[in-house]
Structure 1
């Protein structure tokens, strides 16, 4: 079982030719709404990868709640751990430009009420998937509960929150993008002249695995017994929203099946790239069958 403890949002997405500068107004060409929130996105990605998933979180008593959970329901995710909050359902305001780049403002709403008391009973062998869009006290309590239950914990460090540096080492697997890891490197006083050496220093100090996603440059992974690079799938991105969440959901699924770390990272990397080929976070998350056309040849992923 994969247990996702995290945020549930409704994404409000506008397409623009270019992202605005401060004080600038730009015309939009399209507008859609879609379920979002890093927790919900990762839960859906794990389910589409083929996992049995339970979602823990909170939504408001408002019109956004049903839309925010629609695709989760369609994916047969266990939603019994989602509590109704007096706060409104979380929202994300997203602008996406013609190159697929984006800027996002997140209003937590009900997500800010997810508390340690909401945690379910965890079992040995469960994979617990966490992010930073709920209170960090709840994230930390979840990591400690996972360790006590001998479950596997995967922490995605998005969005960056420097105060989380104090408990990153509680996670079995930490997934950070390059900017997040570089900032945590400073907070954790990791030594090394380059990112790879700082990742190795992280593993040496904390004896856990660190995975750093590099967007179009692929992924770096450092674990107690290995260090490797996974090349990127060459694509023309339409929208990068949700790519990191897709990576985390697929990674959790493969780890739950006992896949090797390298195989799990490679497959998650391909899934994340495919998520960039259409707009929206949840609508763009690929199904397991969508990955069958991707293959690794001569050290480079290709898609047929």
Structure 2
């Protein structure tokens, strides 16, 4: 099973001709709302990829609550660990330009009150805990500590970008970052900032695996002195918002069913490439059959 401790939001998405610069206003024709939040997105991605998933987090007692949880509930994610907090449900304001690039501002709301105590009662030996940085750092560390006490394994997607505290790094089995996040972690850890060199150096230092997603170049992983890379297929990009979360959820689901690092990387790249072909974060996350079909056409290079 995968337990996800993280953020739950509603995304307000508008299409714009180009992303605004500092102090600039750019008009969009309207907006749409979608369930979102990196924690919720990754929980749904893992569930659609075939894993049993429990979500631990917080939402407000407000009008956004039902929408924030709607697709998780419909997919069969265990929501018993989602608490009602004395704060508004988190929201993300997302602008998507004509090249399908995005700009995101997150208002944490109830996510700032997410309680890691819910992890301990839901995780057991052999399970996976999936973490991100959209809830407080202290809560992320406490959740990882609870998972390790239970004999579970820990994946951190260090997003939004920021340093990984030494105490947290020591608890990780897998670190997942994109190129920008890799540079942020590398700078704070005194490691090389070139993505592949960073992954190898992190794996050598910590003894865990490190995965770097490379956008249009696919993904690269290092573990135990070995490396593997997967190039993505050619796709028509509609919206990149869920690419990273789709990758992380499918990758975690593959590990949960006992797949090798290479096979998990194939599933992750397949899911990420499928997610960019549709609009909205959670609505674009693919199912297991689509992931397997696309992964079958990809190749892992060692």
Say yes or no: TM over 0.5. yes
1:15-94 matches, within 5 Å, as: 15-94=15-94
Residue pair 1:37, 1:92 contacting (<8 A) in 2 also: yes
Equivalents in 1 of 2:289, 2:297: separation in Å? 20
Q: How does 1:194-213 map to 2 (within 5 A)?
A: 194-213=194-213
Q: Which residue of 2 aligns with 1:281?
A: 281
What is the CA–CA distance in structure 1 between the aligned matches of 2:216 and 2:209, rounded to whole Å?
Answer: 22
SS in 2 for 1:13: strand
Change (3 A) 1:11 1:222: same
Deviation at 1:21, TM superposition (A): 1.5
Distance 1:298 1:283 in 2: 24
1:176 deviates by 0.4
Q: CA deviation at 1:280?
A: 0.6
Partner of 1:263: 263
Q: Deviations over 1:111-130 (max 9, x none)?
A: 00012333332211111111
* 1:173 equivalent in structure 2: 174
- Tell whether 2:298 aligns with 1:294: no
Provide the residue aligned with 1:248 in structure 2: 248
Per-residue CA distance 1:109-165 (angstroms, 9 max, x = gap): 000001233333221111111100011111111112222222121110000123645
Distance 2:215 2:259 in 1: 23
- Describe the shift of the 1:115–1:126 C-alpha distance in structure 2 as closer, same or farther (beyond 3 A): same
1:149 matched residue in structure 2: 150
Q: Is the 8 A contact 2:120 2:146 kept in 1?
A: no
Partners of 2:203 and 2:295 in 1: CA distance: 30
Q: Deviations over 1:205-251 (max 9, x none)?
A: 11011100011111110101411111122212110001111111111
In 1, Cα distance between equivalents of 2:93 and 2:54: 26
Report if the CA contact (8 A) 2:200-2:225 is conserved.
no
Residue 223 of structure 2 aligns with which residue?
223
Tell me, yes or no, if structure 1 residue 123 matches structure 2 residue 124: yes
- Asked if the contact 2:90–2:110 (Cα under 8 Å) also holds between the matched residues in 1, the reply is yes
Kept in 2: contact 1:2–1:127 (CA 8 A): yes
Q: 5+ unaligned residues in a row in structure 1: which ranges? A: none
- Cα separation, 2, equivalents of 1:190 and 1:230: 23
Number of matched pairs: 300
26-35 vs 60-69, which moves further? 26-35
Tell me the TM-score normalized by structure 1.
0.94
| Alpha carbons 2:120, 2:147 under 8 Å: kept | no
**Residue 191 of structure 1: CA displacement?**
4.5
Give secondary structure in 2 for the equivalent of 1:63: coil
* TM-score normalised by structure 2 residue count: 0.94
Q: Cα deviations across residues 13-63 of structure 1 (Å, max 9, x unaligned)?
A: 001111112222222134110000000000100110111111000000100
For 2:95, the equivalent position in structure 1 comes to 95
User: Would you say the 8 A contact 1:233–1:300 is kept in 2?
Assistant: no
Q: Are the counterparts in 2 of residues 232 and 300 from structure 1 also a CA contact under 8 Å?
A: no
CA RMSD of aligned residues (A): 1.8
* Residues 189/124 of structure 1: CA separation in 2 closer, same or farther (3 Å cut): same
